[in-house]
Structure 1
Amino acid sequence: MTADRRLGHWTPVLLVLPGALLFTALVVVPLGLTAWLSVLDYDSATGIKDTVTLSHYTAILTDGYYLEIFWRTLRIAALTTLICAAIGVPEAYVLARMHDPWRSIFLVVIIGPLLVSVVVRAFGWSMLLGSTGLVNQALHAFGLGTVRLLYTETAIVVALVHVMLPFMVIPVWTSLQKLDPAIEAAAWTLGASRLTTIRRVVFPEIMTGLLSGSLVVFGLAASSFAIPGLIGGRRLKMAATVVYDEYMHELNWPVGAAIAIVVLLANMLIMLGYNRLVEARTRKTLG
């Protein structure tokens, strides 16, 4: 009996252990090695040295070139998240009120782009937004002339919204599955307007999905590499493309590692702050 109790005591640990070991090997150890690499000195003639220094972080956080890239990365990620929320929440609401087979058809349409490589979609947008693409051809047809769309922040945001939108729609739609449509009908019966019903009944229900979707979209947009690299070009850089340049072109791995750590910490602080803000607002609304 004692042996059974001991085995039962260790059962949760044994169940969690494989996943914990895998997480440690694939996430914790690489992050630790990256953090260690970021504090090693570097010389362009001899390469990486064994001496420890914080000069890479000092240079990154005081250089206007890097600060501009960080600001651009956060700005584009935040704008992408806002647009995805503005489009995805109504889309999820309409999807939740559909009935089969239309619901299944539109769900496949929403998830379908995820089956296509991000690189392929980036090339597609580069052809659409190019000087001879379909967008500029349409502008020519209306007599508006050629507009420079490719290699701009607008092009990056448009492509990121197209890629990230399913990650916003699916969590919000999942949250709406818990809301009984009869509750909305009851609110209308009691005299509430549609706007009041959405604000007091529907919106608190989707806050969990909106929070999770926003965090996923923001994190993926801030760390995106393929779309900024292909659509933003060599001059309009974001954090991930700068890390790639430092590793592959400059061969300055410590600076690249330092940039990656700074972006990771900034993303974590922003997402934790956003999480606390939304949770506090939700508790206030429900209270």
Structure 2
Amino acid sequence: MDDAVVSPAASAPAARRGARASLLGVVPLSLVFLVMILVPLVLVVDLSFRQFDYAKGIQPGFTLEHFALIVRDSYFLEIFWRTLWFSALTTLICVAIGLPQAYILTRMTPRWRSIFLLVVLSPLLVSTVVRAFGWSLLLGPNGPVGIAAAAVGIDQLLYTPTSVIIGLVHVMLPFMIIPVWTSLQKLDPSVEHAAYSLGASRPLALWRVILPQAMPGVLSGSLIVFGLTASAFATPALLGGRRLKVVSTLVYDEILSELNWPLGAAIAIFLLLANVAIMLSYNRVVERSYKRSLG
């Protein structure tokens, strides 16, 4: 027979070999994930439950004292609230700026799109510390933005929440534009033209046709921006100064200044749990809204 029929018994060894090859291919990545992420995280969690004495250092034994201190101390709660507020406001501004920019990118010719994509991604080629120092020069009393602000009655921009938000938006904006642009790449232009031909105005077409298609990108971009902003260190430290603390600078102070490693680890774990809870809730709300708009 010219067309050989492969029996299930004969194909079973080949399937098992393919499964073993796939498993072997996953093992290196799993080991990297285990060593680089899970093991340090487990060590930090273990450290957060250790007892601490300023005279003797880290002590053996299990305690919830550090987590209880975070919950009941208004100093820590204020810093957590400030961090989450910075993250939410930065995410909102990035959505407001990044969504129109991503839409404009989809309407450009390939040549101009490549140029503007390079412009969007170029800040990622520069260190965050360098960008923060650049903003500190611009927003300082002798910088052009600081001088312009003083001319309209604003005494100081540097070391204020405004300067921190400006720096964070500059850092995080590419992480919003790229996911939204990727989502809009799947949109067929004829769908938008069909909406216009049926009498829809441009705002209505943007609201009912373009925005629902961009929502997956907005969701993923928002989660990325919020998570990265909540854990950002260099930008808040350099543009906010020592008085305007966020959780990341608080962890730095507790570990390297106070040498209270268990408390610093507990603050970091508390931020991780808060981030996960907020992002899961946000994901559920946005997905429900997206499905409702499609329905």
What range describes the TM-score normalised by the shorter chain of this pair?
A: over 0.9
What's 1:133 paired with? Answer: 143
Residue 144 (str. 1) matches residue 176 (str. 2): no
Give, as a single letter, the amino acid of the residue that structure 2 aligns with 1:244. Y
Residue 211 (str. 1) matches residue 219 (str. 2): yes
What's 2:51 paired with? Answer: 41
> Given the alignment, which residue of 122, 126, 129 partners 2:132?
122
Residue 54 (str. 1) matches residue 27 (str. 2): no
Flag the structure with larger Rg: 2
What SS is found at the alignment partner of 1:261? helix
Tell me the distance in 1 between the aligned counterparts of 2:53 and 2:146. Answer: 47
What's 2:269 paired with? Answer: 261
Alignment of structure 1 residues 158-237 onto 2, 5 Å: 158-237=166-245
What SS is found at the alignment partner of 1:101? helix
What's 2:4 paired with? Answer: none
Give, as a single letter, the amino acid of the residue that structure 2 aligns with 1:56. H
What's 1:82 paired with? Answer: 92
Judge conservation of contact 1:164–1:217 (CA < 8 Å) in 2.
yes
* Identity percentage of aligned residues: 58
Tell me the distance in 2 between the aligned counterparts of 1:136 and 1:50. Answer: 51
Judge conservation of contact 2:149–2:157 (CA < 8 Å) in 1.
no
- So what's the TM-score if we normalise by structure 2? 0.94
Give the gaps of 5 or more residues in structure 1.
none
Query: Over residues 201-244 of structure 1, what are the superposed CA-to-partner deviations in whole Å (9 max), with x where a residue is unaligned?
Result: 11111111000100000001000000111111111000000001
- Runs of 4 or more consecutive aligned structure 1 residues displaced over 4 Å after TM superposition: none
Tell me the distance in 2 between the aligned counterparts of 1:139 and 1:209. Answer: 35
Give, as a single letter, the amino acid of the residue that structure 1 aligns with 2:22. P
Displacement of 1:139 in angstroms is 4.0
Give the gaps of 5 or more residues in structure 2.
1-9
Query: Over residues 167-197 of structure 1, what are the superposed CA-to-partner deviations in whole Å (9 max), with x where a residue is unaligned?
Result: 0001101111111112111110011111111
Tell me the distance in 1 between the aligned counterparts of 2:273 and 2:41. Answer: 12
> Given the alignment, which residue of 245, 253, 256 partners 1:248?
256
Tell me the distance in 2 between the aligned counterparts of 1:107 and 1:8. Answer: 40
Judge conservation of contact 1:152–1:236 (CA < 8 Å) in 2.
yes
Tell me the distance in 2 between the aligned counterparts of 1:153 and 1:243. Answer: 19
Displacement of 1:146 in angstroms is 5.5
Give, as a single letter, the amino acid of the residue that structure 2 aligns with 1:199. W
Query: Over residues 82-111 of structure 1, what are the superposed CA-to-partner deviations in whole Å (9 max), with x where a residue is unaligned?
Result: 000000000110111011322111111111
